[in-house]
Structure 1
Amino acid sequence: MNTVLPTTLELHGVRLEPLGAHHADGLRAAASDGQLWQLRVTSVPAPDEVDAYIDKAIEQRPTRLAFAVIDIASGALVGTTSYHDIVPAIGRLEIGYTWYAKRWQRSHVNTSCKLLLMTHAFEALGAALVGLRTDNFNHASQAAIERLGANKDGVLRHHALRRDGTVRDTVMYSITAGEWPEIKAHLRYKLAQHGTP
């Protein structure tokens, strides 16, 4: 697999650009739309935690590459997503740390982002497998991942700490390079259903 370098990707009015300190105000506004940091099963930063959240994401390179998600038409930052747990030696990476302002949830944004990230991972980077994971109680996230066509690999029990101090089970999913063409066609179909060409 090729080295994962900071890059900018665009599709269907959505731009992914490397997350940086200049995105802090936009990220605070996105998190405040729905007070997303109050959700127990996500890792959305509270407004006063945004700067540290961005700093940590940058420090985690090269095993994580975080993106700001931008609505091109308005220029608004609508959320963030990342490649993470990048292991070039075996051609594996994961997509996660994904969240969007409440008004952008259940829109074309998540499908566009996943299509951008997976196309880049499989077709530019040469990934053999893209993984996704979520909290066992984050049923909305599990449903979204399953709508992508990802395979449910299993559950890692007692796997990670939540913000409230409890320990979550983590539900693991994956898509292989061989499965990608059919999933790509499915994502394009879903975007067409949203009215995005």
Structure 2
Amino acid sequence: MSAIQPVVLSGWGVSLQPLSLAHVDGLVEATADGDIWRLNVTSAPAPGAPSVTAYIEHALQGQSQGTMLPFVVVTDAQRIVGTTRFYDIDTDVPNLAIGYTWYAASVQRTHVNTACKRLLLGHAFDTLNCAAVYFHTSHLNLASRAAIARLGAKMDGVIRHHKRHKDGSLRDTWSYSIVSDEWPEIKADLEKKLAR
């Protein structure tokens, strides 16, 4: 697999579009929808153009280095509701991780996350021919851990004192993966959930 190129992924009421500085205003609104940015365990920036701009610039720097491919999440109503990205991209294996995912409070616990994961996993396995896709989350982020497990990802282990949370406290990272052999069953399950 060569370097991953920006792409639009659409389906099930959402569109994942290449993240750019043109999305600052929409993401400022999304961060103000609920208090997700206050959570110590999320990557969501604080509301306001300076913090959102810095967040996007960091993601685009990762994209220019070939280690990230960031997306903005847009509903069919053309409302920006969050972001997600591929990161830790290794084109040799190939494999990658999905993360830096956050959504406006008004679309949490809706079809949006399931649709985004179906689109991202489909692109990773069906188009990029990944051998594995990883998910990493804080030991404190119980909602994320439960959501990852519901996808059908298997827990690989815990990397202790791996990173720091926003407040500087040490984070143990829970690491999960889906391998290519597991994708067909997980794909069918996600599509069944989205059909409900």
Q: TM-score range by the shorter chain?
A: over 0.9
Q: Which moved more, 1:63-72 or 1:43-52?
A: 43-52
Give the SS at the match of 2:42.
coil
TM-score, normalised to structure 1's length? 0.95
TM-score (ref. length: structure 2): 0.96
Q: What residue in structure 2 maps to residue 158 of structure 1?
A: 161
CA deviation after TM superposition for structure 1 residue 3, in Å: 2.9
Identical counterparts, % of pairs: 51
User: Any stretches of 5+ residues in structure 1 without a counterpart?
Assistant: none
Once the two structures are TM-superposed, the CA of residue 2 in structure 1 deviates from its matched residue by: 4.3
- Bigger mean CA deviation after superposition, 41-50 or 81-90: 41-50
Structure 2 regions of 5+ residues with no counterpart? Answer: none
Structure 2 residue 56 is matched with structure 1 residue 54: yes
Looking at structure 2, the residues matched to 32 and 135 of structure 1 have their Cα atoms a distance apart, in angstroms, of: 23
Does the CA contact (< 8 Å) of 1:95 and 1:130 recur in 2? yes
Q: CA deviation at 1:36?
A: 1.5
Equivalent position amino acid for 1:64 in 2: M
Query: 2:106: which partner in 1?
Result: 103
What are the residue-to-residue correspondences of 1:152-191 with 2, within 5 Å? Answer: 152-191=155-194
Q: CA RMSD in A?
A: 0.8
CA contact (8 A) 1:85 1:93 kept: yes
Deviates more, 1:2-11 or 1:153-162: 2-11
8 A contact 1:3–1:125 mirrored in 2: no
Partner of 1:70: 74
Deviations 1:141-194 (A, max 9, x none): 00000000000001000001111011100000000000000000010111122x
Alignment coverage as a number of residue pairs: 192
Q: Partners of 1:68 and 1:56 in 2: how far apart?
A: 14
For residues 43-65 of structure 1, the C-alpha deviation after alignment (integer angstroms, 9 at most, x for no partner) is 11002310000001000111001
CA distance in 1 between partners of 2:99 and 2:107 (Å):
17
Work out whether residues 94 and 131 of structure 1, in 8 Å CA contact, stay in contact via their aligned partners in 2: yes
